Amino acid sequence: MAEPDFYLSEEQRELQRALREFVGKEIAPIAAACDAEERYPLEIFSKLGGLGYLGLRFPEDVGGSGGTCLDYAILCEELAFGSAGIALGIYVHMALACAALEAFGTETMKETWLPPALRGEKIGAWAFAEAGAGSDAGSIATRAVADGDDFVLNGSKLFITNGPIADFLIVVASTEPEQRLKGLSLFLVERDRPGFKVAGSLSKLGVRASEMAELVFEDCRVPRENLIGRENRGFLDSLRTLTLGRIASAAFATGVARAAFEATLDYAGKRKQFGQPIGSFQAVRFGIADMAVQIEASRLLCHRAAIAADQGLPHGREANMAKLFATEACTKIVERALHFHGAAGFMSESPIQRFYRDCKVFELGEGSSELQRDMIAREIGL
């Protein structure tokens, strides 16, 4: 039998092995407690940063470690296998906040923020969503008005991951409201800027190890140097460049699904009813076989998108398909996992109920399933 991941390089297998070891020893043991307490384990940032994993895909001159998109997909799957919440906090930091700075930031911004951020000493957040703007970015109401050498920000942001713990934020604000999407710019806002405040932490159903807040800007004055990328075009540019989000979502979903699957496989072999392991009943066997297939299909779609990205090929369609398939498969797999665990999986102490609460979010974030289907339909010519 060939290894299912025979196409990975020696280094990628080693990366996977090293991450499994790290996640098994450092993340899995604290996942339940962080979920229960809605607390982000900040030390995970510095541990991953110290080992260079936060610098994956960042150039060496800003403190990065290099690496490919496929490496990144491997990282995401392994982190989410341990804790979807912890993975989410890392993701927002790396793939949104740091990636935006790296792609569009000024030299000063990069020199000041990236090395400590990639070491995990400074934490970033990405502030885009608002009470009135989710799928529809064009309705963003946070305003940034030019005033001399400054911009003055007013408005509020909702559902911001890492909000309570971030040292710096990338804020999407409208610099030209009539232009809607074409009037959105990105700003770097440091935690201690006067006029900026974290209005309060938000409590969630799942991914509870990640911390989330509402943010408020009241005459928050930032110098023009804090503008990231082109004025009025910053957000659209970022959509084109920060394509990793969908690959990451697919990988996260694969990781959570794999965690649920492995637990179920183990349980079905051990749990006996009617004098035999429940895994010997066809209904259960077939269900678990389906899980295995769906997980491998999810991973293959995800890795295909990542490999295309690494080869510089267009990969938008591939990433959309991977995200849609893997996130929906994950929800189905986790539902079956809970079902096959019976009452044991329904209990608070079981990790299965955590997976059940965690999985749904991947279908919502980074473009919901409806938006994915819409884009895929367009991409296939409808």
DSSP class of residue 61?
Answer: G
The DSSP secondary structure of 310-364, one letter per residue, reads HTT---HHHHHHHHHHHHHHHHHHHHHHHHHHHHHHHSTTSHHHHHHHHTTHHHH
Tokens of 364: 């919502």
According to the binding rule CB under 8 A, does residue 138 interact with other proteins? no
According to the binding rule CB under 6 A, does residue 294 interact with ligand FAD? no
Residue 361 partner contact from ligand FAD, other proteins, none using kind-dependent CB cut-offs of 5 to 8 Å: ligand FAD
Residue 265 or 300: the one with the smaller Cβ distance to other proteins is: 265
Member of 5, 8, 13, 231 binding other proteins (CB under 8 A): 13
Residue 146 or 283: the one with the smaller Cβ distance to ligand FAD is: 283
Nearest distance from residue 366's CB to other proteins, in Å? 24
Member of 35, 38, 40, 53 binding other proteins (CB under 8 A): 53
**Alpha-carbon gap, residue 137 to 182, rounded angstroms:** 10
According to the binding rule CB under 8 A, does residue 351 interact with other proteins? no
CA atoms within a 13 Å half-sphere pointing along the CA-CB vector of 315: 25
Q: Taking Cα atoms as reference points, which of 93, 74, 71, 85 lies closest to residue 36?
A: 85
Residue 10 partner contact from ligand FAD, other proteins, none using kind-dependent CB cut-offs of 5 to 8 Å: other proteins
According to the binding rule CB under 8 A, does residue 55 interact with other proteins? yes
According to the binding rule CB under 8 A, does residue 195 interact with other proteins? no
Q: x/- binding map, residues 83-122, to ligand FAD, per CB under 6 A?
A: ---------x------------------------------
Member of 40, 91, 128, 362 binding ligand FAD (CB under 6 A): 128
CA atoms within a 13 Å half-sphere pointing along the CA-CB vector of 28: 14
Tokens of 362: 């991947």
Scanning residues 43 to 72, which ones bind ligand FAD (CB under 6 A)? none
Residue span binding other proteins (CB under 8 A) among the ranges 65-73, 151-159, 301-309, 339-347: 65-73
**Alpha-carbon gap, residue 184 to 155, rounded angstroms:** 14
Nearest distance from residue 21's CB to other proteins, in Å? 6
Instruction: Confirm whether 370 is a catalytic residue.
Output: no
**Alpha-carbon gap, residue 93 to 158, rounded angstroms:** 17
Tokens of 91: 């993701």
According to the binding rule CB under 8 A, does residue 67 interact with other proteins? yes
Residue span binding ligand FAD (CB under 6 A) among the ranges 24-32, 35-43, 176-184, 274-282: 274-282
Nearest distance from residue 40's CB to ligand FAD, in Å? 13
* Contacts of residue 273, Cβ cutoff 8 Å, sequence gap at least 6: none
Nearest distance from residue 212's CB to ligand FAD, in Å? 6
Tokens of 190: 């440091």
Residue 241, Cα to own-chain centre: how many angstroms?
Answer: 16
According to the binding rule CB under 6 A, does residue 349 interact with ligand FAD? no
**Amino acid identity at 318:** E
DSSP class of residue 126?
Answer: E
Residue 23 or 213: the one with the smaller Cβ distance to other proteins is: 23
Measured CA distances, 49 to 10, 234, 259, 334 (Å) = 23, 27, 24, 31
CA atoms within a 13 Å half-sphere pointing along the CA-CB vector of 150: 9
Residue 245 partner contact from ligand FAD, other proteins, none using kind-dependent CB cut-offs of 5 to 8 Å: none
Q: Report the run of H or E that residue 196 belongs to, with start and end.
A: strand 196-202
Measured CA distances, 259 to 28, 263, 359 (Å) = 10, 6, 11
Member of 15, 160, 184, 291 binding ligand FAD (CB under 6 A): 160
Residue 13 or 332: the one with the smaller Cβ distance to ligand FAD is: 332
Tokens of 186: 């990105």
DSSP class of residue 375?
Answer: H
Per the residue annotation, which of 111, 190, 366, 379 is the catalytic one? 366
- Give the residues lining the site for ligand FAD (CB under 6 A): 92, 126-129, 134-135, 159-161, 204, 207, 212, 271, 273-274, 278, 281, 283-284, 339-340, 342-343, 346, 361, 364-365, 368, 370
- Give the residues lining the site for other proteins (CB under 8 A): 1, 10-11, 13-15, 17-18, 21-22, 50-53, 55-56, 65-67
Which residues are catalytic, by number? 366
